Amino acid sequence: MASLDVNLDKGLPVSLDAEKYVLGSILLDDTLFVEVAATLEAQDFSLEKHRRIFLRMGELNARGERIDRLTVAEELMRHNQLEACDGVGYLVSLDDGLPQIRNLDSYVRLVKDKSLLRRVIYASQSLINRCLAGEEAPQEILANAEEALLRLGESSTRTTLFSPGEIIDEFQGGLNAFLDPERRIQGLSTGFRRFDEMTGGLHPGELVIVAGRPSMGKTALALNIAQHVAVKLQKTVAVFSLEMSKEALLMRLLCAAARVDSHRFRQGYLDAEERRRLQAAAAELVEAPLYIDETSGSNLLEMHAKLRRLKAERPLGLVVLDYLQLMSSRGRFDSRVQEISALSRGLKLLAKELGVPMLVLSQLNRMPETRKDDHRPQLSDLRDSGSIEQDADVVAFIFREEVYKRDREDLRGEAELLLSKQRNGPTGAIKLVFLHHLTKFENRVSDLESDDAPPE
C-alpha cells in the first residue's frame, strides 16, 4: 500500500502541453478538428476548461462555422463559460510555443494515452470502493470489473473503413480464393442438411433465434446442434442453460447420442447393450469441447466475462443460450419489452465482438393457439419484444402439428423448422423428424438421400 500512496502523490497522468497544442492547432487550422475528433472526445481532456473549449469547437463544426479564437470565444460567452475558461487571453495562449513543424498525431496520441490511464485509475478506485463496501457479491464485482476494463481496451481508435482492394488483400488466398465459392469460408454445420443448405450454416457474429411454444422441442434442437458441433466438428461450444440443470442436460445428450430411451434411462431399466452404448457416448462426450453453465438468472455481464475467459483458453465455435426470456438484466427499464430489447441487442453485439454464432432460444406468445386453421408461428409471435426480430440475423420456429392434434397418429414425429427470417438467404419450411423417446430431431431419410442443389 505504501508504494500505491507514493504513486498517487505524483498526481494523475496528464499532459497539459499536449492538450494545449491540440486545441491550439485547431484554432490555427480548423480543418484539423475532424481529424482530432475522430480519436478524441471531450472527456479525454484533463482540465474542465479544455473540455468546454473542445465541446464548443464541436458545436461550431456541426453548424459549419469557422473555428478560431473569436468564434470559440463567442460560443463560450453564449454558454456563460468564457470566464470559467480564463477568458480570451487563454484562447490566445493556446497556440503559444507550438513547434514550427507540428506533429498533431503525436499530440493526439499522448492526450488519448493519458486519458486512458486516468480511466484505468478511476475504474480501479471504483472497484476498490465497492470491495471495501462489501455490499455486492464478489462474482458480480469481478464481472463488472472485467466488463469495465474491456470497454477501456476497446476505447482506442480502430480502423474500420476498408477499401475493396484492402478487403481482398487481407482475404486468405487473395482474389481467386475470394471469388471461388468452394474456397470461401463456410458457416458452421448444424447437422441438419436442409437448414445448412439454406443458410450456409451458422456464421461468426450472427444472432440466430430459435423460437417455439412450450413442449415444441427448443432445448432438444439446440442440444442436437451443440452436440454435432462439439462431437462431430470438434469445435468449442458453450451452453448456458437458465432453466435445466447440467445433469439433466447431460442426460439428454447421452441418451440422444447413444439412442437410448430417456424414460427407460430415468427408470433404470436398461439392458447390457444400452449400457454399452451409453458408456461409449459418455466417453465421446468427455473428449468433446463442450461446456455447460447452469447458472439461473444469469445476466449479460456475467455471460460476457465467462465467454471471454473461455475464448482466452481456446477458440470458440458456438454459444447456445436457453432461453432469452429467463435472462436477467442489471439495468432499470420501464417495461419488460425494453429489457428484452436491451438483452437481444446486447447478445447481437456480444456475438459480433466474440466473432462466434450465438444460438438463442426464445419463447412465443399465445397467438399460435388462437389461430384455428393454422397454428404455425409468425414473427409477430415472438414474446415480449419486436427487437428480437430486428436484431436477429436468422429467426427459425419449431413447429409440430401433433402437439395440437394429439388424436392424429399420422402426424406423430413430424416436425418443421420454419425459417422465417434470414438476412443473407432464402426463407421456407424445413421438414424434420422428432424422435420422442430420444428427445431428438433428425433429418428425414429422403433429405439425406437427395442430391438436389441448394435452393436459389
The CA–CA distances, whole Å, from 16 to 47, 81, 89, 113 equal 8, 20, 17, 13
Q: Give the helix/strand (H/E) hosting 280.
A: helix 272-287
Classify residue 39 by burial, with Cβ atoms within 10 Å: 0-12, 13-18, 19+.
middle
Q: Return the closest-CA partner of residue 57 out of 14, 18, 95, 91.
A: 91
**Helix and strand element counts for the chain (H, E):** 20, 9
Active-site choice (243, 401, 414, 416): 243
Q: Beta strands 414-422 and 428-435: pairing type?
A: antiparallel
Look up cell 480519436; give the residue: 39
Look up cell 480564463; give the residue: 86
**Considering just the CA atoms, what is the radius of gyration of the chain in Å?**
29
Q: Return the closest-CA partner of residue 284 out of 254, 313, 306.
A: 254
Q: For the residues of 27-69, what is the DSSP string, one character each?
A: HH-TTHHHHHHTT--GGGSSSHHHHHHHHHHHHHHHTT---SH
Q: Return the closest-CA partner of residue 345 out of 332, 358, 326.
A: 358
CA–CA dist 164, 84 (Å, integer): 48
Assign 414 to helix, strand or coil.
strand
Contact by Cβ (8 Å): 288, 282: no
- Residue 168 burial (CB count, 10 A): 16
Q: Return the closest-CA partner of residue 147 out of 349, 283, 4.
A: 349
Contact by Cβ (8 Å): 35, 104: yes
Strand partners, 319: 238, 358
Residue 16 in grid coordinates: 497539459
Assign 266 to helix, strand or coil.
helix
Nearby residues of 61 by Cβ (< 8 Å), 6 or more positions away = 30, 33, 34, 37, 67
CA–CA dist 231, 240 (Å, integer): 18
User: Does residue 75 carry a catalytic annotation?
Assistant: no
DSSP assignment, residue 299?
B
Q: What positions carry a catalytic annotation?
A: 243
